[in-house]
Structure 1
Amino acid sequence: MAFAASLAKLQAEASCPICLDYLRDPVTIACGHNFCHSCIHQRWEGLQGTFPCPVCLHHCPDRSLERNTHLCHMTEIVKQIPTSGSQRKLQEEIPLCGKHHEVLTLFCEKSLELLCPQCKGSLDPPDQPLIPTEEAAASQRGMLKRHIGVLTNSLESDETVYKKQVANTWEVKRKMEKWREELDYECKELKFLLERERDEIDNDLPIEENNVEEKLIENGKQISYHMFRLNNLLNEIEEKCLQTDLDLLTGIERIHNSYGNIETPAVFSCELKRSCCLPPHYLGLHKMIHTFQADLTLDPETAHSSLIISRDRKSGTYRRPDGLPNPQARTSYPAVLSSEGFDAGRHFWQVEIGGAGQHKIGVFLDYELGEVSFYNLNSRSFLDGFRDTFTEKLMPYFSIGPSSESLTIRVK
C-alpha cells in the first residue's frame, strides 16, 4: 500500500496539473511549477501584463517558459513503470472541481473548501483568503493535532469522573448498610416503638438508594457515551491527519463542527437525604442538632506537639511524642482549642473519637443560661452537664487521654 501511494505521488509529479496527463514537452514557470508547454501556453493565451500560475496563482512577470529537460527524461521513465489496477484507480480518484473539472489546488480558509484556480473569479466576496493545498493541509493538520491534545485531556478527565461515579455507587451501598446497622441498634434499644418506626424507614431506604443509584448509573451512561463520542472523534481526527492533503481537507468542516459542538455532560452530585421519625424524647436532640449546629475547625497554633492536625483542620491524630513540645500549646496533655469561640447564643457541635472504638459525643452550649450539656450520639442519650455564669468568650477544648496509643478526633 505504501509503495502504491509513493508510485502515485511520483506519477502525479510527472503529470500536468492542467490536463492531468503525463507532461509533454514540460516547461517550468517563474514560481517553480511545471506544465505541458501547450497547456500553459493555451491557459495564458489572450492575457497581458501578468500571468497567474494555475496552481498557486503566483503572478509571473512575463511569458518566460524554461524547458525542463530533466523532468522530461523523468516523465519518460515514469511512463515505463507498469501500473496495476489499484494504482490506476488511485490516480483516477484524484478529486476534480465539479464545476470546472480541474485539479483542486487551492483552499479557502474562510469557507473551508477546496477550489480550483478557475473558482477564484466566482467567489463572493472575491477577496476571500486562498492558499495552496500543501500549505492549507499543513495548517489544518497542525490544528487537528491540537484538537487531539485537547480531546485526549478531556477524555482522561472524563475517565476520572466516570471512575469516581462508579465508586460513588458502591459508597452509597456502604453508607446505606451503615445506616441500617445504626437503625437496628436504635430499634433494639427502644424495642417495639422503634421497631415499628424501623420498618417504615426501612421501606423508604431502598427507594432513596435506588433513586440515587439510578441517577449515578444514568450519569455514568451519559459520561460513558460522551467518552464514546470523544473516542470516535479522536480516532477520526487521527485517521484524518494520516490522509493525503486533499483527502484531509475534504470534509474538514464537518470535523471542525463536531469538535466545536462537544459538550461535557454535567456530573451528578451524590447527596443522600436521611430522614428518621424518632420518638418524642429524640425530637429535642434532633432539633437541637439541626438548629444550632456550629461549624468548628481546630487551631494548629494551640495544638499539642503530639497531635497531627489535618489540612482541613477538622481532625487531629494523636501520636506518641518523639520531639520537642509546641511552645504555644496550652496544656501538657494532647489537646487543642477550636479556632472559633462563642460569647452569646446557643451552639451545638459533634466530636468523633476513633482508635479505641467509635464514640460520637454531642456538646450543646446555651451561653445565656450558662449551661453545657453532653450527649451520647450513638444511643441518643444524655450523658452529663454543668451550669455556670459565663462572662467571657468560651473556646471549645478537645483533649485525648495521654495513655492512648493512637486516637483521632473529628469535629463537625
Structure 2
Amino acid sequence: MNSAASLSELQAEASCPICLGYLRDPVTIECGHNFCHSCIQQCWEDLLGIFPCPVCLHHCPDRNFKRNTQLCHMTDIVKQIPTRGSQRKLQGKKALCEKHHEVLTLFCDRAVELLCPHCKVSDHQDHPLIPIEEAAARYRRKLKSYIEPLMVEVEDAETEYENQIAKTFEVQKKMENWRRELHYECKELKCSLEVEHDEINASLLIEEKDIEEKLTENGRQISNHMFMLNNLLSEIAEKYLQTDLDLLTGIESIHNRYENLESPAVFTYELKKESCSLPPHYFGLHKMISTFQVDLTLDPETAHPSLVISRDRKGVTYRTPDGLYNSQALTSYPAVLSSEGFDAGRHFWQVEVRGTGEWSLGVCKESSLRNSLISPSPSNSCRHIELCASICGTCPRGHVMRVGIFLDYELGEVSFYNLNNRSYLYGFTDTFTEKLMPYFSSAPSSKSLTISIRDE
C-alpha cells in the first residue's frame, strides 16, 4: 500500500462515522466502534432501554461511554499531517449536489430536499433553508414520533388478523352446531326430508366456504398491511439512526408513506340459518318458537349450594356438596330459578339436558322464593308443592334431551314439548295471579347431568 493510501486510511480511522469529521473527544461503545462524544449522545438522545450502534446496530444495554485517550492523541497527530490531500479525500466522501457538484450543506423544508450553496441562489431564494444538522435533528424527532403510532398500528393489525382467524373457527363451530340440530329435526322424517336435507346442507357448505374465503382474503389483506407496517417501522427505525445526510436523503418518501397509511376494511358477515320445511303439524310449534322465544339467564342467588352455574349463566351442573351452605340459596332441593319472571303475555324457552341422571323443569310462583322449593314427583302430581307446573324425566347415558316450555299467562296454560321429535309431552292449566319464575332442577344422583338454556 502506498503512502497516500495509508494516509487516507489513517484519516478515515480518525473520523467520526456520524459527522464524518475528525473525532472530537472520542469515546468507545460496547461493540468497539468509536464516535465523537457529542455525536453519540445526540444520536441516543431520548432513547430508553436499548441503544443501537449507528454502524453495526449492536444493541448496547446502556450509555456506557469509555473515553479513548489513545485515539484522542492519534487524532491530534493526524490533524498535524499536511491536510491538502486529506481535505480532498474528506470532501470526496461528502455528498455532492448532482446539479452543481458542490457539497450539500443546506436543507429546504418546503421542497424537502438537500441543497448546496449554489442551489440557494438559483432555485430556492424565497424558501426557508436551514443547516443540515438542524434539519436532521428536526426530522429525527419527527421519525421518532412515527415509531409509537406505527407500533400501535402493527399491534392492532395483528389483533384484527387473529380475530379474523378466530372468526373462521367460530363460523365452522356454528355451522357444525346447526348441522347437529338439523340431524335431530330430520331423524324422524328422514325419508320425506332427505332431498331437502341434502339441499340445505349443500347451502350451508356454500355459505361456509364463501365466508371462509372472504375471511381468508380479508386476513391476507390485513396480513399484507401488517407486513407493510412492519417494513415501514423497521425502515424508520433504521433511518432514525443514520447520519444526517443519509437520514434526509429520501425522507419525503417515508414521510408520505406514513401520512398516507390506510388500513384495509374489516370484512363482517351475518350468518343466515336455514331449517327444514316441516310438515303441516309442525308449523304451530315452529311459529311458537320463532314468535315467543325469550332469552333467559340463571340467577345464582337462588341456586342450591350443590349446583355450579356456568360463567354465562346459561348452564347448571350438580356437584357433591363440600359441607358449606349458601345462606342466600332459596332451594332445599338442587334447583335454581331464572333471573327473569313473567306476569303477562306468552313466552317460550328451550332447555337442553346432557349427561346421565334425573331432572325436572317448570315454573313456580314468585312468592315461593320466600320458602324452600321441593322436587316434584309422580306421587304428589305437583299439587302439594309450590311449583305451578313441572315435568320430570331421566336422561340415559349419551342421550341429549331438548325440551320446550310454553307459558300463556292470560290463558293460564303451561305446555311442554319434546324438541327432539317436535312432539307434545304435557300440559297444565291454572289461574295465575302473580309473577311466575322458570325453574330448573337436577336430582342429587345426577352427578354428570348438565342443564342448559338454549338461545335458538
Q: Which residue of 2 aligns with 1:75?
A: 79
Indicate the structure whose relative CO is greater, using CA pairs within 8 Å and at least 6 residues apart.
2
Aligned partner of residue 322 in structure 2, secondary structure? coil
CA distance in 1, matches of 2:12, 2:450: 72
In structure 2, the partner of 1:183 is 182
Whether 1:409 aligns to 2:413 is: no
Structure 2 match to 1:273: 272
Task: Quote how far apart the aligned CAs of 1:190 are.
Answer: 1.1
**1:16-39 CA distance string (max 9 Å, x none):** xxxxxxxxxxxxxxxxxxxxxxxx
* 1:312-331 deviation digits (Å, cap 9, x = unpaired): 43333433221422212110
The one-letter amino acid of 1:405's match is K
Superposition deviation, residue 364 in structure 1: 1.4
Q: Who is 2:200 aligned against?
A: 201
Indicate conservation of the 8 Å contact 1:304/1:333, yes or no. yes
Shift, 1:178, TM fit? 4.3
Q: Provide the residue aligned with 1:341 in structure 2.
A: 341
1:211 aligned residue: 210
Q: Write the deviation string for residues 382-404 of structure 1: whole angstroms up to 9, x where unpaired.
A: 22221111111112222222222
Letter paired with 1:344:
A
Mapped partners of 1:81, 1:198: distance in 2: 91
**d(CA) in 1 for partners of 2:177, 2:432:** 40
User: In 1, Cα distance between the equivalents of 2:181 and 2:280?
Assistant: 19
Match of 1:241 in 2: 240
Mapped pair 1:161 → 2:169? no
Q: Distance in 1 between matches of 2:286 and 2:82?
A: 92
- 1:285-329: CA deviations, max 9, x gaps? 222222112122222222222333344433334332214222121
Quick one: which amino acid aligns to residue 346 of structure 1? R
Match of 1:26 in 2: none
**TM-score with structure 2 length normalisation?**
0.65
Q: 1:235, 1:8 → 2: CA distance?
A: 25
State how far apart, in whole Å, the 2-side matches of 1:124 and 1:314 are. 76
Aligned match of 1:305: 305
CA distance in 2, matches of 1:330, 1:10: 78
* Distance (Å, rounded) in 2 between the aligned partners of 1:209 and 1:230: 31
Query: Following the alignment from structure 1 to structure 2, what is the Cα–Cα distance between the partners of residues 218 and 294?
Result: 37
| Cα RMSD, aligned residues only | 3.8
- Deviation per CA, 1:248-294: give whole Å up to 9, x if none: 12332332322232232233335421112222222222222221121
Partner Cα separation in structure 2 for residue 139 and residue 316 of structure 1: 63
Q: Deviations over 1:90-111 (max 9, x none)?
A: 9445254957945334563x76
Contact 1:14–1:71, Cα closer than 8 Å, also in 2: yes
1:382 aligns with 2:386: no
**Amino acid of the structure 1 residue aligned with 2:104:** V
Residue 190 to residue 4, structure 1, CA distance change in 2 (3 Å)? farther
| Cα pair 1:96 1:104 within 8 Å, conserved | no
Give 5+ residue unaligned stretches, structure 1: 16-69
Are 1:305 and 1:324, in contact at CA under 8 Å, matched by a contact in 2? yes
**Match of residue 284 from structure 1:** 284
Cα distance between partner residues in 1 of 2:298 and 2:256: 52
Matched, 1:362 2:404: yes
Distance (Å, rounded) in 1 between the aligned partners of 2:116 and 2:303: 78
CA contact (8 A) 1:107 1:133 kept: no
CA distance in 2: counterparts of 1:410 and 1:404, whole angstroms: 14
Note the C-alpha offset of 1:150.
3.0
Q: Which amino acid aligns with 1:234?
A: L
Using structure 1 for the length normalisation, give the TM-score: 0.71
Q: Does structure 2 conserve the Cα–Cα contact (< 8 Å) formed by 1:102 and 1:116?
A: yes
Residue-pair matches, total: 351
For residues 193 and 111 of structure 1, the distance between their equivalents in structure 2, rounded to whole angstroms, comes to 78
Separation in 2 of the partners of 1:94 and 1:390?
94
Per-residue CA shift, 1:118-174, capped at 9, x if unaligned? 878987977x5x665435434433443443333333323323332332343344344
- 1:30 is matched with none
CA distance change for structure 1 residues 213 and 9 in 2, over 3 Å: closer, same or farther?
Answer: closer
After TM superposition, the structure 1 = structure 2 runs for residues 241-260 of structure 1, keeping only pairs within 5 Å, are 241-260=240-259
- Which among 375, 379, 392 is matched to residue 434 of structure 2? 392
Whether the aligned pair in 2 keeps the contact of 1:155 and 1:230 (CA below 8 Å) is yes
- 8 A Cα contact 1:148 1:234, kept in partner: yes
Tell which deviates more after alignment, 388-397 or 354-363: 354-363
SS of the counterpart of 1:395? strand
Provide the C-alpha distance between the structure 2 equivalents of 1:173 and 1:191, rounded to a whole number of angstroms: 24
Find the counterpart in structure 1 of residue 320 from structure 2: 320
Counterpart in the other structure of 2:95: 94
Distance in 2, matches of 1:148 and 1:204, equals 47
SS of 1:327's partner is coil
Q: Which residue of 2 aligns with 1:103?
A: 104
User: Would the aligned equivalents of 1:106 and 1:133 in 2 still touch at CA under 8 Å?
Assistant: yes
Q: Superposition pairs for residues 37-56 of structure 1, below 5 Å?
A: none
- Tell me how far apart the structure 2 counterparts of residues 311 and 410 of structure 1 sit (CA, whole Å): 12
Shift of 1:367: 0.9
Partners of 1:206 and 1:323 in 2: CA distance: 51
More displaced stretch, 117-126 vs 166-175: 117-126
